[in-house]
Every structure is written in structure tokens, then in C-alpha cells.
Structure 1
Amino acid sequence: MGTKLRVGVIGAGGIATQVHMPNYQQCEEAEIVAVADIHEAKAQAAAEEFQIPRVYTDYREMLAHEDLDAVSVCTPNKFHAPATLAALEAGCHVLCEKPPAMTTAEAEEMRDTARRTGKLLTFGLHYRQSSEVSTLKRFVDEGELGKVYASRVHAVRRRGIPGWGVFTNKELQGGGPLIDIGVHMLDTALYLMGYPQPTTVFGVTYQKLGNRKGVGLFGEWDWQNYSVEDMARGMITFENGASILLESAFAANVQKDDEMNVSLMGEQGGADVFPLRLYQEKHGALIDVTPAYLPETNAHKNVVHRFVKACQGQAQPSLCTPEQGVILQQIIEALYRSAEEGEPVKVSAFKPSRG
């Protein structure tokens, strides 16, 4: 590996041009040397904006012809697994956008390939890199909340269906708010809880608002071809006895336009993450604790820069691991399956191997 990490980007859409490319550009230890996108004009525009020397319309050609150290996968969800596997096999470390994949089997293959090739694989789950989560994680790890046995995950928009991209296309994305915004809060809760192994998932999904014309706070969406859920709700139980209640929606008749939060409940205290507040009972009184100061941080930037450092051998335990990616995918798949079948799903049916 040279002085700088040589990076290739697969996919030149919004997440690439708004998050990955600018943050690589701001990192002195990395340089983007190539970008690949099936839409050549989109790749060319990104290359011009970020001074990327070479453009490809096939990421396989990029992997074959470029001497890359690392790759960012910024494609629609359907292509996360094949692009990641190809990059790992080409000897690259991989930062893949969320969710990890479309199925648990794909996530497992990604994990196993990363192990076999000895390459780093992580995912763009940036909320765990925020000051609120980093601070609360220290409190949890030091036992301030005691054993955390329950959590509530909330990622709900009033009318926040994306009016761009392929977010409402089930074939390309696999689902709607659960795997777009819900996955962020779910990962945050699991990260704070130590990523316990799930046992049972019960879920329901609704498509009540997205497939009809209405007010769009995130632009006008293609309601006539809307094929994902606009709300997902579920309950997850874990081997250690803990549980999570989850609610995620692109569109729901609620007061707030956009609310993203995680609540933890432990034996010695509880917490809300956004904004950060702690709730405890001490010396015969119920108290609320609010930080007077939290350092400003750019969570998206932290993901990219810590990925670069990890590729260079500097441990970054806050990054999502392939094993955690499998657990996350298990829960997502089980919730959708439960919603389809109308019954709780035992996660042991596709529990990851421990090899």
C-alpha cells in the first residue's frame, strides 16, 4: 500500500457525491482514483466535481484495471452484495452503504468472504459515530444504566417519502423505511446494547399512504409505482432476555415531520439518545441528566475517515463489523417475513454460522 489509500467508488448517486467522495477528498490519507457507474454521464459529472482521474461504466473493469486498496459501494441495495464480493475478491477493503444486503444469506457470504480474504468490511451506519451515541456508549459500558433489557427504536416521518432515487422500488431496494431510516436507529440500539443475538421477531408492515398522491415534504414521489411499505413496526427478542420495540415510517399521520430516536431502559437507568438525556434514581430521588456540552462532530465524515484509518491498520472499534451486519440483516429479513406470514419468526432458521 502506498502513502495514500487508493480508493474506488462504485455508484455515483447522491450518497456517493454527498457523503463518500467529499469526505475522502478531505482525508489526507486517501485519494479517489476511479469511479464506476452504469450511467456514464453521472460518473463523468462526479469525476469532474471531485477531480477523479478515471471513469468506468462497469465496476468489474475498474477492479480489474485499477490498483485499488479500498472501495466504497454506493449502489442501490440489490447490488451491495455482488459489488462487495467482487471488491473483496479483488483484494480491496470495503465500505458498503447500508443495509448490508438484501438477504441474510448474502450478508453471511459477505462476512465469510471478508474473513477468507483478510480484508476489512464495514457499513455506512453513521449514527453510531455521533457525539450522542459515542457518549452514551461510554456510560453504558461503565455500567451507568446497569443491564439494558429494553429499547425503543423510532424512525418516523410525517410525509418524508424520498422524491428521488430508487427508494420506493422494492425490486432494487428490498423494502422501504425499515431498511432506509429504520436500519440506522436499529443499529444504534443494537450497538448500545452490545449487539445481542436475536431469537424471535414479530413484524407488521403497511402500505396506506405511499401509493396515492399526496403532500411530499421530500419532493414528489412516484406514487403510481410505489412498491415498498410506508410503515413497519415490530418487536425483537434476544437470547439475553432483552427486547426492542421498533417503528419506522416514510409517511404516517403523526405530529412531527421527522423523528429519529432510540430509548434505552436498564436496571440502573435509562436514556434517550437524540437529544441525549439520562434518567436515574439516586439517593431517594428521580433525576434527569442532560450533558451541558457535547463536541460537534460529523458522523458521515467519521465513518469514512475511520474506515481509512482501519484500512491502514489502526483499530476502529466503533465501525460496524461483518458479524453485526449479519445480525442486522437477520432482523430485517425476519421482520419482513413475519409481516408476510402473519406470525412471529424464529431467527434460528437463518442463524449465522460461527466458523
Structure 2
Amino acid sequence: MVEKLKVGIIGTGGIAMGAHIPAYLKCSDTVEIVAVCDVNLAQAKKCADQFSIPYAFESYENMFDEVELDAVSICTPNKFHCDATLKALEAGCHVLCEKPPAMSYEEALRMAVAAQRAGKILTFGFHYRYTPEVEALKRFVDANELGDIYTVKVTAMRRRGIPGWGVFTNKELQGGGPLIDIGVHMLDTALYLMGYPEGETVLASTYQKLGNKPGVGLNGPWDWENFSIEDLAVGMIKFKNGASLLLETAFAANIEEDDVMQVTLLGDQGGAKVFPLKIYQEKHDTLVDLTPVYLQGKKPRDKEIEAFVNGCLGGVHPSSNPEQGAILQQLVQAIYQSAGENKAITLSGVEV
């Protein structure tokens, strides 16, 4: 009988109870959720009771001291990602940390170095990589069907989608707004398909035009009087390999659609839109559109957890790694810095 992977959960909010824990339970042949922790002990106990998890703690320090764990999921607000990751790695655990990796590039580097020294897996919750569209397109990209991908557009826009729950509008706890929440999903998807090039120059602007006043909320009412994040960010990234990327992301904008999550790639052998997947090429002196007719699979978050578990048990490591986390966090930080200083930001190389 194979010994089960002993897993702990740090943070027992919606992402933990709605995604991570159910996904681990689907891996019950190889996984045992041993403990949960939350600064709200009552919430931790409620979660433990609901999912029949043996132990509930108020702090991850106590959890690491009192139970033996092999791996953890970190599902806290962004502010606590770095410290929780460092403590988990120090305790000898593999780590799946929800996106974004951290609050700053410096924190992401510390996390990457700690994972390298500990010899443990550190991966991040970029579950869009596990959508059937991205998995299929990645196979085409790896087969050079798009050729040299030289420019990309990233869109993560909502018409009136400011979260009316949690701490999503609290800059101190989150580090930012739509860019660091939904924008990083599409940015990571684009970078993943591009081969994760390093950035060279970033020019960006952020705006707070709609979130700081009352209005219609498709995700419920929000605390507009304490709205401390951007409601829209736009930017351009030039990469060291010569490629470029345009980004637009918003929790609230005057657009037609309620929600748009899209990545568009242009290469010298073909182009693609990812959601839904369509590939555009020229073959045999003919312009062709290629549309998959059968794309199915498990839920992306389930596949993300499966990949993490498999890596922890000695299989192939998850695709998202600490160096990529550092590259992405550097770009996010540069976008905010460029917007704040109203100038282009030149980036240094990422060395882990």
C-alpha cells in the first residue's frame, strides 16, 4: 500500500473550501488532508468539521509544530503568501501557493531561493494552464505551428465585476486590484505559451474611475468608500527576445461584455485566440482557420491539484515553477511602478 501524501491547508476561505480541498478529496487514494489553519480559528474548525479533517489550527506555525505534513496549499490573502511559503518550505513541505506568487518581486525571489535550497516543489495556482484550450495550443506552439511569437495581447476585463466579498479591494492585503487578481491569470497564460521570456521594458497606466463611487455591481455591492486599488490597468511589455505584449485588465469598465478573459498570439507561422481556441495560418497558398472540434477534460483546478500531488509523489513536476513566478512578479511590480512614476521602467535580469 502506497503511503498517502499528508497535506495541510493554510487559509480556509472560498478558494480553499471551494477548489483546493474538493480537488484533494478527489485524490483520496494518494492524499490525506491532515490539517487546516486560519487566523479565524472558528472558521478553521468549521472547515475541518465540514470536510472531516482531523486538525484545525489558528496559525501555521502551530500546525507545522504539531502535525507531520508533506505538502501544503496556501490560500491566504496575497500579503501572507511569502511568509507562509517560507515557513512551509522550512518545515520540509512542498508548496502550492495561490496566485499571485507574492506582493513584490523581492518576495518572489526569496520564495524561489528558499524552494531551491529546500529541494522542494514550489508551484502557483495558475489553473488556466490546465484548461483544454491552453493544453492544446501549447502542443501546437511546441510543434512550431505558430513559429516565432512576436506579439501578444492579454485581456482580463469585467464590465462591473468588482468582488463584493473578501479583501479583493484592499491594497494593503492584496497588493493591487484586477492586475494582480485576474490579470495575472491571462498574463501567465500568455507568458507560458511564449516560453516565459524575460521582460526588458514596461510602460503602464492604472486608473481608479469607477470603483471609488457607488454603482451597479454584478458581483454584489462593494465597499466603495474604502476602495484602495485600481479598477483598470493597461500596459505594454517589451521582452529581451524582441517580442512585445499589450495588456488591459479591469474589475470595472464601460465595455459591452460582462467578462472577457482572452489571450491573442501572433507568430510568423500562425496566430491564435485561446478562449475559445482558434488558430489562423497560411497553408499551401491558402489562408485557413483551424478550430478544434473536441476539447474536453477535467476541471482545470482539479488537474492543477493532480499535477501538484503527482510531483510531490515523485512524478513530473507541475509546469509552474519558482523562476516563472519571479519573472511574472517582476512584470506586475514594474507595471505598478511605471503607472505610479509615470515613466517607462527598465528591468534587470531574473536570477534565482
TM range (shorter): over 0.9
Question: Where do residues 46-195 of structure 1 align in structure 2 (5 Å cutoff)?
Answer: 46-195=47-196
CA distance in 2, matches of 1:163, 1:341: 30
Query: Structure 2 counterpart of 1:344, which letter?
Result: A
- Alignment match, 2:13: 13
CA distance in 2, matches of 1:233, 1:192: 21
- Alignment match, 1:324: 324
CA distance in 2, matches of 1:339, 1:301: 36
Q: Do 2:2 and 2:30's aligned partners in 1 also have CA atoms closer than 8 Å?
A: no
CA distance in 1, matches of 2:21, 2:347: 37
CA distance in 1, matches of 2:330, 2:257: 30
Query: Structure 2 counterpart of 1:17, which letter?
Result: M
CA distance in 2, matches of 1:98, 1:155: 15
- Alignment match, 1:261: 262
- Alignment match, 2:350: 352
Q: Do 2:198 and 2:350's aligned partners in 1 also have CA atoms closer than 8 Å?
A: no
1:322-349 CA-partner distances (Å, limit 9, x unpaired): 000000000000000000000010111x
CA distance in 2, matches of 1:352, 1:237: 15
Deviation at 1:296, TM superposition (A): 2.8
CA distance in 1, matches of 2:258, 2:12: 29
CA distance in 1, matches of 2:250, 2:4: 41
Q: Note the residue ranges of structure 2 that are not aligned, 5 or more in a row.
A: none
Local SS of the residue matching 1:334: helix
Query: Structure 1 counterpart of 2:316, which letter?
Result: A
Runs of 4+ in 1 over 4 A off after TM superposition: none
TM-score (norm 1): 0.97
1:131-151 CA-partner distances (Å, limit 9, x unpaired): 000000000000101111110
Q: Do 2:236 and 2:245's aligned partners in 1 also have CA atoms closer than 8 Å?
A: yes
Deviation at 1:2, TM superposition (A): 6.7
1:48-99 CA-partner distances (Å, limit 9, x unpaired): 1111111000111001111000011000000000000000000000000000
Moved more, 46-55 or 154-163: 46-55
Q: Do 2:104 and 2:333's aligned partners in 1 also have CA atoms closer than 8 Å?
A: yes
Q: Note the residue ranges of structure 1 that are not aligned, 5 or more in a row.
A: none
- Alignment match, 2:287: 286
1:215-254 CA-partner distances (Å, limit 9, x unpaired): 0000111111000000010001111101110000000000
CA distance in 1, matches of 2:2, 2:73: 18
Number of aligned residue pairs:
351
- Alignment match, 2:4: 4
Q: What is the aligned-residue identity percentage?
A: 60
Deviation at 1:316, TM superposition (A): 3.6
Query: Structure 1 counterpart of 2:326, which letter?
Result: V
TM-score (norm 2): 0.98
CA distance in 1, matches of 2:294, 2:186: 23
- Alignment match, 1:277: 278
CA distance in 1, matches of 2:182, 2:347: 22
Local SS of the residue matching 1:217: coil
